Amino acid sequence: MSFFKGALKMVHQGCKVLVVSGPSGSGKSTLLTKLFQEFPNTFGFSVSHTTRKPRDGEKVGVDYHFTTRGEMEEAISRGEFLESAVFANNMYGTSFAAIQAVCNEKKVCVLDIDIQGVKQVKNTDLDAVYVFIKPPNMEELEQRLRNRGSETEESLQSRIKAAKADMSYGEELGNFDLVLVNDSVSNSYPKFRDFVLNHIQYENTPNGQLIMESAKNF
Ligand SMILES: Nc1ncnc2c1ncn2[C@@H]1O[C@H](COP(=O)(O)OP(=O)(O)OP(=O)(O)O)[C@@H](O)[C@H]1O
C-alpha cells in the first residue's frame, strides 16, 4: 500500500478535521487563539511544511517543517500531502503525516488554510467540518488589516483583491458548513465555539481511543 493510501486510511480512522478559512484579516487567528485557549486539550494545529527559510525564533518541526522545493515536490507527487500552495515563490502544504500526528494526540486537527487549500481538501474524502470567517464588510476588513500594521501598502492591496474572490466562494451555498460574520469577537466567538463543539462529537471507545464524528453525517 502506498504511503498516500496508508496515511489517508489512518486519517479516516477516528480523526476529525476542522477547516477554517476566510480572507486575510477576517479574524481566523483571533477566533482560533480563543478556541485553543479555552480547549487546549481538544484542538491542535497540524505543522505545515514550507520551502521558505526559517525566520528568527521559528522552531523546526514546531512552527514549520522546513524543506527544499525538490523534496517537497517529490513528496507531493508520492501523494503525501493533503494540500499545498505557492505564495511569494515559496511552497506551503499540509502533509497527511502532520494531520495524523495531531490525531495521535487524540485532538481535533485544525487547518487554517486559504481557499486554494479548501478546494483541495474537498477533493479528498476526508471527513472535515468547514467554517468560513468573513468580515462585516470590505471597509472594515481594510481597516483591520491597516490597524494590524503587518502589511505594506502593496501586500494590503493584494489581500483586499484576494478577499473579494474568497468572499464569493465562501458565500456560495454549500461550500461551507458555517459562514460566520466576525463583527465583534464577543459576538462571533461564542457562535464559532458552539458551532464547532456541536458539529464535532466525541465518543470514548472501550479501548480508550477517542473517536470524533461529524454531526453533518448523521
Ligand atoms: N471582531 C473583530 N473586531 C475588530 N477587530 C478584529 C476582530 N477580529 C479580529 N480583529 C483584528 O483584525 C486583525 C486581523 O485579525 P486576524 O489576524 O485574526 O486575521 P486572520 O484572518 O487570521 O488573518 P491572516 O489570514 O492574514 O493571518 C487583527 O489585528 C485582529 O486583532
The Cα 204–Cα 212 span in angstroms is 9
- The per-residue pLDDT for range 96-152, each reduced to its tens digit, is 999 999 988 989 999 999 898 999 999 887 879 999 999 999 999 999 999 999 889
Residue 152 lies in a domain: yes
Residue 206 lies in a domain: no
Q: Cα(41) to centroid of ligand 1, in Å?
A: 24
Domain count, the chain: 1
Q: Cα(178) to centroid of ligand 1, in Å?
A: 18
Residue 30 lies in a domain: yes
pLDDT at 88: 77
State the chain's mean pLDDT as an integer: 86
pLDDT at 217: 32
Task: Give the residue numbers marked as catalytic.
Answer: 55, 148, 159
Q: Cα(132) to centroid of ligand 1, in Å?
A: 14
pLDDT at 212: 42
Q: How far is CA 51 from CA 71, 95, 127, in A?
A: 9, 14, 28
Task: Decide which of 9 and 83 is more confident.
Answer: 83
Write out the residue range of the structural domain in which residue 172 sits: 1-7+15-198
Would you tell me how many other CB atoms lie within 10 Å of the CB of residue 130?
A: 21
Residue 98 lies in a domain: yes
pLDDT at 207: 42
Cell matching residue 65: 517543517
Residue 204 lies in a domain: no
- The per-residue pLDDT for range 1-48, each reduced to its tens digit, is 444 554 555 555 668 899 999 999 999 999 999 999 999 899 999 999
Contact between 121 and 128 (Cβ < 8 Å): yes
- The per-residue pLDDT for range 136-158, each reduced to its tens digit, is 999 999 999 999 998 899 999 99
Residue 213 lies in a domain: no
CB of 175 sitting under 6 A from ligand 1: no
Residue 47 lies in a domain: yes
Residue 214 lies in a domain: no
Percentage of the chain modeled with pLDDT above 90: 72
CATH number at residue 181: 3.40.50.300
Confidence of residue 214 (pLDDT cuts 50, 70, 90): very low
Confidence of residue 180 (pLDDT cuts 50, 70, 90): very high
Ligand 1 binding pocket mutation candidate from 19, 20, 26, 30 (most atoms within 8 A of CB): 30
